[in-house]
Amino acid sequence: MSRLHVAPFAGLLVLLLAGCATTSTPPRPLVPQGDDCLALFEQVDQRIEAAGVADAGYARIEGYPYLRSDRFSASFASEISDMDTFWEWVGYLRANEDEARDIELRNLGLDRQTASSTLIDLRGCGAWLRSWELDDKAFREHLLSVVTPPHEYSTVARTLGLYPLAKPFLNRGVREYQEEVLAEYAKPLDSLEAKGELVLWKARVSDEYAYETVDLSRKPRDRLGRIGMLGSEVIQMAQYHAPQLWIDTADDYDLPGQPTVGGGTPGVNVRKPVVYYLPGYTRFGGRNLLQISYFVWFDRHQSGDSAEGPLDGVIWRVTFDERGQPLMHDTIHACGCYHFAYPVRDMRRREVPDDRETMLFPQAQVPEGQITVRLKSGTHAVQRVLAADQARAAGGREYELQPYDELLLLPLPEGGTRSLFGPDGLVAGTERGERFWLWPSGVRSAGAMRQWGRHATTFVGQTHFDDPFLFETVLVAPPFEGPALAADPHAAEIPLMR
C-alpha cells in the first residue's frame, strides 16, 4: 500500500482515538495505607473480570475504584456549589459501588463468609480513600469532569459506517415504522386482531402494604432532591401502580416469566410468572420526579423478520408527579427499541429538527390512575393503554412483583447465581439479524436485550432511556402544584430512595 493511500486512513484513526481521549488523572493524593487499599480493589477486580461477572449497570470511574456513576447522579456534577452537597453526592456514588460490588461478589461463587468479609474490607477501603483523596481539590475537580457514563453509541461504527450518508435511510425506516404504529392506533380497539386468547395479568397484592399511592409531597428530600422513603413505601408504590397486562396469548412465548441463565439459549421459566420493578428518578420542569420501571420477560420475540430471536422484554415506566400520581407512562423493548410515550396530563411539544428521531406519542387520550396495557402476540408490542376496568379477558392470572436486582442474581442449574446480563451489559444469545443493517447507527448489537442503564433508544442522534433530561428534550413540563420542593438537610435521617 502506498503512502498516498495510508495517510487518509491514518488520519481517520487519529481522529477516532482523539475522540476517545479523556482528561488525564492528576497525581493521586498520598493516603496512609492507601496503596494497600488500591491493591485490594485491583485484586478483586481482576478476579471479577476473569470470572466474567462484572456488573455493567453502573459505570466505573477511571481512577476512582471506590465510586460508580449513573446518568442521574452524573447530572449533578456541574451544579454542585458547596462541600456539603459534594459529600452527599459522593455518598451516592459510593452507594452505587457498594450495590454493584455486592452483586459481583455473590456471583463470583465465594462462600458467604469470604464474600461478606471481602465486601466489608472494600467498603472500609472505599470510605478511607474517599475521605483522604477527595479532600484534595485537584482530585475532586477531576472527578466532577469524568463522572458522566459513556454513551451507548460506537463512534467507530458510525464513522466507518458513513453515518451521515446512512442517516436519511435510517430516518426513513423510522418514519415508516412510526406511521404504521399510528395507523394501528387509529383503529377501534375491538378491531385489533387477536391470534390467541386474551389473558389479563394482574400483580399479586400483598396485604402487608396499603393499597394506595404515597403522597410524595409530604416526603423530605436531601440536597440532591432524592426522596426520603421507607422501603415499604417503595414496594407500596410499585404494587399499586403495577400495570395490568392484557396479552394476546397464542403460545408459550406470550407468557411472562423468570429469565433463565446457564442453560445455553436464554429463555424464561413460564411456571414462575414474574415482573421486576426498579425505582429511579427523572429531572423535569426543575423538579426531580420519582419513576418506577417494570420489566416483563418472554421466551422469544416471534415476528418472522430480522428482529426475531430468543428472549424478549418489555419495559413499562411510570413517572409520578409530586403528589404520587402518574404524570407520564412510557415504554421500550429491552433492546431499547420502540420508544412510545403516553402523557397523562396535557403537555406542549417542543419543536425538534426534522432529521432527529424522538419517542413516539401514539395515543391521544391516556387514562389517569391505574392502567391496563394491551400487548400483541409474538412481538409484544404495546397496542393500547386503557383504564384498569376496560379490559375484558377470557382468563385472568397473577404475576409476582420482584425487585430488579433479582435479575442480577438468577439461579444457575448447578448452584450459585449469575446475572442475566454480561459484563458488556448485553444478554448473550439474543443477537438479532437487524444488527447488520443497523450497524451504521452506532448502536451496539441493535436488537439485543440489554441491562438497565445501557438502552440507546434512537438510531438517529444519541438518546438514552435513563437520561434524566429525556422528557425535557421533547416536552414542556406542566405547571406543578405548590412551591418548588426545597432540599431538606435532615432528609438523610430518613432512608433515601436512590
**CA dist list (Å): 241 to 297, 324, 339, 401:** 18, 10, 20, 11
Residues 6+ apart with CB under 8 A from 474: 349, 350, 352, 358, 359
Domain with 428 in it: 155-493
Both 34 and 118 in one domain: the answer is yes
491: which 3 cell numbers? 432528609
Evaluate whether residue 8 is within a structural domain.
no
Interatomic CA distance for residues 216 and 116, integer angstroms: 35
| Same domain? 421 vs 275 | yes
> Is 63 domain-assigned?
yes
In this structure, the answer to whether residues 328 and 208 fall within a common structural domain is yes
Angle at which helices 34-51 and 112-133 cross, to 10°? 130
The answer to whether residue 421 is domain-embedded is yes
Instruction: Identify the pLDDT of residue 2.
Output: 34
How far is the C-alpha of 258 from the C-alpha of 33, rounded, in Å?
Answer: 45
Q: In the prediction, which pLDDT does 483 show?
A: 46
Assess whether 341 and 207 both reside in one domain. yes
| Domain shared by 58 and 187, yes or no | no
The answer on 192 and 118 residing in a single domain is: no
pLDDT in the model for residue 486: 41
324 with 215: CB under 8 angstroms? Answer: yes
Examine the fold and report which residue of 115, 150, 185 is the final residue of a domain before the chain moves on: 150
Same domain, 298 and 429: yes
**Position 15 in a domain:** no
In a domain? residue 17: no
User: Pairing between strand 227-228 and 258-260?
Assistant: unpaired
Q: Specify the pLDDT at position 472.
A: 93
Give the distance between the most distant pair of CA atoms in the chain: 76
Flag whether 2 is in a domain: no
399 and 451 belong to one structural domain: yes
Last residue of a domain, one of 150, 169, 194: 150
Residues 324 and 400 in one domain: yes
Which of the residues in the chain have pLDDT under 50? 1-22, 483, 485-496
User: Which pLDDT score, from 0 to 100, does residue 490 have?
Assistant: 35
Residues 316 and 189 in one domain: yes
User: What local confidence, expressed as pLDDT, does residue 393 receive?
Assistant: 74
Number of domains, the chain: 2
285 in the same domain as 190: yes
Give the pLDDT of residue 263.
81
If asked whether residues 66 and 81 sit together in one domain, one would say yes
How far apart, in whole angstroms, are the C-alpha atoms of residue 481 and residue 484?
A: 9
Final residue in a domain of this structure, among 150, 181, 208: 150
Question: Cβ-count burial of 396 within 10 angstroms (0-12 exposed, 13-18 middle, 19+ buried)?
Answer: exposed
Q: Is residue 132 part of a domain?
A: yes
Residue 259 lies in a domain: yes
